[in-house]
Amino acid sequence: MKKYAIWALLFTSSLLINQNASSQTWPNKTVKVVVTLSAGSTSDILARIISEQLSKNLGQPFVVENRPGAGGNIAGEYVMHQPADGYTIMLSSISSHGINPALYAKMPYDAINDFTPIISIASSPNVLIASNNTPASSTKELINWIKSQPTGSINFSSAGNGTSMHLSGELLNALSGIKTTHIPFKGSPEAVNSVMKNEVTFMFPNAPNAIPLAKAGKIKLLAVTSSKRLSWLSDVPTVAESGLPGFEVIAWFGFVGPQGIPAPIVSKLNAEVQRILQIPSVVDSLSQQGFDVMGGTSNEFGSFIRSEIDKWTKVVNQAGIQKL
């Protein structure tokens, strides 16, 4: 028994020495950044902005890999099973680590215990858009028009089941008393395109995916889902002030990795992203895309994820939204 104990101690010490050495040299090869939505989506845009800076600053490629589907569950399940060495990280979101645990009856991962929180990066409100064929120019007019149509005959699109876009539509149903049909896509661009082509009536995309099309007159921009009007969209009312008090949905994004990433790697990546989020050109770029910078410690991000799961569990239950 004594020999076994000594062997176990030596083995554990060897692992710790190797782990510390690996942590000190991280990164010394390509880092994979997994995104939950398709190329061109809000999360994809954000991931590429941050990854470009990380590549420059840390001297190794940070390569974005899109694994869309199931509101982030596909990407989350993949990342959960990767080595916890800091070479595979994920841009988690309100969907993958906030809404999905509340909305899906059976999850392929534990959003808290199967991941290492690294840093919250940015947030962005959703916006309510409608097709140009829709005879409505405000949220109230849209709701009233939908009520005049056969129940369930009006569709809304989203970037997938469990996304903030999906829950925004379900909240509109629950709070306004309408009944519309959800049409999920694998990414924001495809879902927004369905509105632009008049294939569906409305949608709640993240702001960056919709503002350029609205300015070009290709869709109608009716409202924002934040609690207050946005300074850069001051003429666009909130959904709450349009007759649905309490309606608020803010999409957020942050880096997580497989459970067990060494603390030195987490600290190094957190600190580097913090620095990036303070670069004026990056802040301006994110702002132009409709993002608000977040940041903070890894522990703060972990606590935030827990609070978001609690929040959306209450919303799903109180709104009577059917679990997937």
pLDDT in tens, 281-303: 999 999 888 888 999 999 999 99
Q: What pLDDT does 22 receive?
A: 62
> Residue 261 — φ and ψ, nearest 5°?
-60, 130
Q: What pLDDT does 20 receive?
A: 55
d(CA 233, CA 229): 7
Q: What pLDDT does 15 receive?
A: 45
d(CA 126, CA 109): 26
**Residues in contact with 285: Cβ distance below 8 Å, sequence separation at least 6, in sequence order:** 49
Q: What pLDDT does 324 receive?
A: 85
Give yes or no for a contact between 279 and 53, defined as CB atoms under 8 angstroms apart.
yes
Give yes or no for a contact between 259 and 109, defined as CB atoms under 8 angstroms apart.
no
> Residue 246 — φ and ψ, nearest 5°?
90, -10
14 CB-contact burial (10 Å; exposed 0-12 / middle 13-18 / buried 19+): exposed
Q: In this predicted model, what pLDDT tens digit does every residue of 139-164 receive, in sequence order? A: 999 999 999 999 999 999 998 888 89
Q: pLDDT averaged over consecutive 10-residue blocks of the chain (324 residues)?
A: 53 48 85 94 93 97 95 96 98 96 95 98 94 96 97 93 90 92 90 96 89 93 92 90 91 97 98 97 88 95 96 86 83
pTM above threshold 0.85: no
Q: What pLDDT does 263 receive?
A: 98
* Domains delineated in the chain: 28-124+251-319 (3.40.190.150), 127-242 (3.40.190.10)
Q: What pLDDT does 23 receive?
A: 75
Give yes or no for a contact between 169 and 144, defined as CB atoms under 8 angstroms apart.
no
Give yes or no for a contact between 33 and 49, defined as CB atoms under 8 angstroms apart.
no
Positive or negative: CA dihedral 148, 204, 99, 67: positive
Sheet strands (E) in the chain: 31-35, 62-66, 88-93, 115-125, 127-130, 155-158, 181-184, 202-203, 220-224, 250-258, 292-293
Q: What pLDDT does 5 receive?
A: 52
d(CA 324, CA 319): 14
